[in-house]
Structure 1
């Protein structure tokens, strides 16, 4: 909701083309940070769950590795952005250079700090990191709006300041754990192999995930106009509202089930997949209708030309979110290579469709390619799981005990009794 409000303010004040330029500026640090994470945040979660006594070594290795990486990425971005943004104004290009160089190391730090919070089950801090970024953004933008000073430059500065504040908040909140990574004691070199070994296993998968999730923006920058980017950024952000439940589940599921026995992992992950998909399937149709109405009312009638793109992106969001919930089972059991196979196939199909459909149908073709890619990812995952976990496909996609589980969970939460109903009521599931 806060992200949508941010889009409304920037779209109303900057217009479609100005919104497109701002989206291009904000896009590059996120994309670059996703490409150079080298799987370290995920590896931190996995290894800290396996052996928390080596937290100091894992943290220091991660920090020391990503400092030079971020510097190198900043140099490449500084000289590359004028080429990559050749169709954009000189002001937008210069802002993108400064913003990218300063923000990439901050985003890498946010990813590491989020991983620490997740691995320690400090989800209040993790939620604070996720909430404070858009919250501080929208507060800053509202202040600029009221002062009549909202522009491309001032908006970019607000986003940079927000990221810096959130990093500071995270370091203070996790001070006892971050300080372990800054101690001057010699690093145990035996920590290198598990940290970077698992990190490189998941890095290929995460890199493909980043390319898959961001390649649509790259295509827009390369083949379409700033106006197209403005339209797309608005409907894309609005469609991501449908992914809220599944994103929350995915972010909690991996650190929660890592280290469990395989049969318990699949029971919990499959249940989360079924319930989230059912809820979102019920919600999506009326919400899409309301979403189109809100698109014109809040953002302006000029954004209605992208309404068909909004419909497709909403469907893609739910299907893709469900596939990531299921994929957390492979990461938790130390088999990220299976997710890598899925991503390789899906991204190959989707990128090929981008180059075919985007020139023909513009944003609609782009979003259609994403829907097809999401269906491919889900289909491959549903094909893999029964063979890896030795369970029938039917038990993954259907369980009559889910309704009973949901009712009992809601009752327990209302009464304030128990935090983990799955541990008490697994007997209601035909899977366990």
Structure 2
């Protein structure tokens, strides 16, 4: 009985169970990523860590720029229009092939300009890594969306977990063999992504058994896929610029050493976004297609509870984080501790605003999120150019924090106007605690099952 009760809770397909499993995956990804960051920081030093991060940066950034909203559109359309999944999948994957080639050529030509402060060896490695990784990362995004749309969160979480896990394994092999080389480490990351793409395609082979060589495209399906994609693309593009423009500023205005410091404290601050990212990733595909009141109520409760939980966690953790940063990464990284404090708070505010944004996407109104992103991005970029020359890395972190606060306030205001949601109601609802207590009481099922199992023995 105990095993059955636990299995029911952990293996259920409901919203809460899926969020719990995805949160656990996020936590494992965070731990693995942190361990990898520690290894690379120790192996390459501060400046070498900055060069390695610069090599990895451009493919991730460019994939966000040329995604055209197709992963999100794939989820939305497969949920809303059952029976046309094959056409959506075919159109999405085939469209990304020429995109990866075009962007790859552009990257090869302009990376020497984009990485003007770096050595010729670093630039050449960045060229090869970016060109070869672009199609793989575009495929990963569509594979993850396909898994989400079919409620196959096992594959979705597997894709997200195996990439950093294999990266860590590869870095450990390099360390044990004494190969302290950023170029070899870049090759490891490339092979890791390729292996995960092959594994995930095999796991989803049932959904991918379609007529890939079919000449005619279903115009209705393509119109629906690219129509919604074009509407959400603006939001996602601005989201990419918002989350990556800080790195572009560092690459342009500061040194590889600064990039090395920032990459460590930024990754460490994302620890506080574990639960909120899980909610954002799960809540959109789970709620799309439901009625408006249900969507607003669920998103609001998830936002409030996550914000309270992470605020309680972040206050003591940022001080412990600074202590651990000196021990694990090295004392030289402590000079970026103030940036770490600011980024930790920004992480929670930003994560909360993305949870709220799920309500607009689920109701087919991503344009409101686009307006929010435009305003917040304009303010943040403007602050970058004011604060970075004055305060360096701390100026970048402060700009992001102010931008995250603006984003949250604009989102709540948009919900007030569009959905008639009370401002105070979005920030506090006493029923949230009753809901949380009810969920905690459900845990007693495990205790009762455990006692019953003991009696059976």
Q: Which moved more, 1:401-410 or 1:138-147?
A: 401-410
Q: Where does 1:210-229 land on structure 2 (aligned, <5 Å)?
A: 210-229=240-259
CA distance in 1, matches of 2:105, 2:181: 27
Is 1:118 the counterpart of 2:142? The answer is no
Correspondence 1:410 to 2:410: no
**For the Cα contact (< 8 Å) 1:58–1:181, is it kept in 2?**
no
The corresponding residue for 2:37 is 7
Task: Give the alignment of 1:233-312 within 5 angstroms.
Answer: 233-312=263-342
Give the aligned partner of residue 394 of structure 2: 364
Q: Give the corresponding residue for 1:23.
A: 53
State the TM-score, normalizing by the size of structure 2: 0.90
Per-residue deviation, 1:302: 0.3
Residue 188 (structure 2) aligned to one of 155, 158, 162: 158
Q: Is the 1:9–1:141 contact (alpha carbons within 8 Å) kept by the matching residues of 2?
A: yes
Decide whether the 8 Å contact of 1:28 with 1:100 is kept in 2.
yes
| Mapped partners of 2:441, 2:204: distance in 1 | 33
Maintained 8 Å contact 1:59/1:181: no
Whole-angstrom CA distance in 2 between matches of 1:371 and 1:201: 27
The answer to whether structure 1 residue 192 and structure 2 residue 222 are counterparts is yes
- Please state how far the C-alpha of 1:407 moved relative to its aligned partner: 2.4
Quote how far apart the aligned CAs of 1:181 are: 6.4
Unaligned 5+ runs, structure 2 = 1-30, 448-457
Shift of residue 183, structure 1, vs aligned partner? 5.8
Is residue 2:138 matched to residue 1:108? yes
For residue 178 of structure 1, the aligned residue among 201, 208, 211 is 208
Give the aligned partner of residue 338 of structure 1: 368
Q: Is the contact between residue 39 and residue 203 of structure 1 (CA under 8 Å) also seen in structure 2?
A: yes
Q: What is the Cα deviation at residue 394 of structure 1?
A: 2.0
Q: Distance in 2 between matches of 1:370 and 1:153?
A: 31
Show CA shifts across 1:312-340 (max 9, x none).
Answer: 00000000000000000000000000000
Q: Distance in 1 between matches of 2:222 and 2:151?
A: 24
Instruction: Confirm whether residue 326 of structure 1 aligns to residue 356 of structure 2.
Output: yes
CA distance in 2, matches of 1:52, 1:158: 39
Query: Which residue number corresponds to residue 20 of structure 2?
Result: none
Deviation at 1:392, TM superposition (A): 1.5
Q: Distance in 2 between matches of 1:347 and 1:413?
A: 42
The answer on whether the counterparts of 1:239 and 1:313 sit within 8 Å (CA) in structure 2 is yes
Aligned equivalent of 2:63 = 33
2:389 is the alignment partner of 1:376: no
Distance 1:416 1:344 in 2: 47
CA distance in 2, matches of 1:165, 1:411: 42
Per the TM alignment, residue 179 of structure 1 is displaced from its structure 2 partner at its CA by: 2.2
> Once the 2 structures are TM-superposed, how far is the Cα of residue 416 of structure 1 from its aligned partner?
6.2
C-alpha deviation, 1:287, in angstroms: 0.5
TM-superposition CA deviations, 1:79-110 (whole Å, max 9, x none): 11011111111111011000000001000000
Higher relative contact order (CA 8 A, sep 6+): 2
Gaps of 5+ in 1: 418-432
- Corresponding pairs, count: 417
Distance 1:146 1:280 in 2: 37
